[in-house]
Amino acid sequence: MRKQPLFALGLCAAAWWGQVSLTFAKQVQSTRAQPSEQQGKQTSGQQSLARQNQQMEKQASGQKAQTAQAPAIPPGYRLLSVKEGQVIAQGIAWADDEEGLSPDCSHLVHTLYRQAGYPYPYASSLDLYRGTGPFLRVRYPHPGDLVVWRGHVGIIMNPREHSFFSTTSSGARIENYRSAYWRTRGYPHFFRYLTKSPSKASNGATQALNRQPQH
């Protein structure tokens, strides 16, 4: 008679121990699964970030390709030659010390170009920066080209010396567009005048857009 209660008690203890072991095993499996899930999430996030970086690189390469392409010259027009630009720069050198010639920068450039025989409808420096009038943006400036920031414009004097002529708070003078002050204004755009007059050296004008000047 005593063996039956002991046997029943043993069965209950075994059942209880089995349930405890099963619960512990589930907890261990859950603990092991969590790092795997986290690793899976991290891997998925890394793959998503890699895809975004690839898309950004493709967009950047596309923008570089567009920038590298030379802009089209309108039919019947040509860019000013280096010699013609040098004539413009040499013709305005006298204005450095000329009294009374100190209008704002865009009107000064407009006047000097008209005096040199290259007229164009007046445009503000901001409009010139965006690209307007008979000017084509170039990569490397020549003498006589425009150097334009958002809100300021001047005429290139000597690209090797990075000098340009314009009106400043101190009057009309020659400045260095790579000086500390002008660097704070951002990277400038360079523009060259388009003319209809024929030229013996008009061949290869498109190739000269992104060619560094040799002078």
pLDDT in tens, 87-115: 999 988 555 545 555 679 999 999 999 99
Nearest to 132 by CA among 187, 198, 194: 194
The per-residue b/e assignment along 56-82, b for 16 or more CB within 10 angstroms, e otherwise, is: eeeeeeeeeeeeeeeeeeeeeebbbbb
What's the rounded mean pLDDT across residues 171-182? 93
Query: Rounded CA gap, 8 and 16, in Å?
Result: 12
Higher pLDDT, 173 or 24: 173
* 74-210: CATH architecture: Alpha-Beta Complex (3.90)
Which uninterrupted H or E stretch holds 114? helix 105-115
Model's pTM, two decimal places? 0.61
Q: What is the pLDDT of residues 57-70, one digit of tens each?
A: 666 555 554 444 55
Percent of the chain with pLDDT over 70: 55
Q: At 13, which amino acid appears? A: A
Mean pLDDT, the chain, rounded, equals 76
Residue 12 has pLDDT above 90, yes or no: no
For the chain, the domains span: 1-69, 74-210
Please, which pLDDT band fits residue 206 given cuts at 50, 70 and 90?
very low
Instruction: Please answer whether residues 166 and 153 qualify as being in contact, where contact means their C-beta atoms are separated by less than 8 angstroms.
Output: yes
Give the per-residue pLDDT at 202. 44
Contact 109, 148 (CB under 8 A): no
pLDDT in tens, 113-151: 999 999 999 999 999 999 988 999 999 999 999 999 999
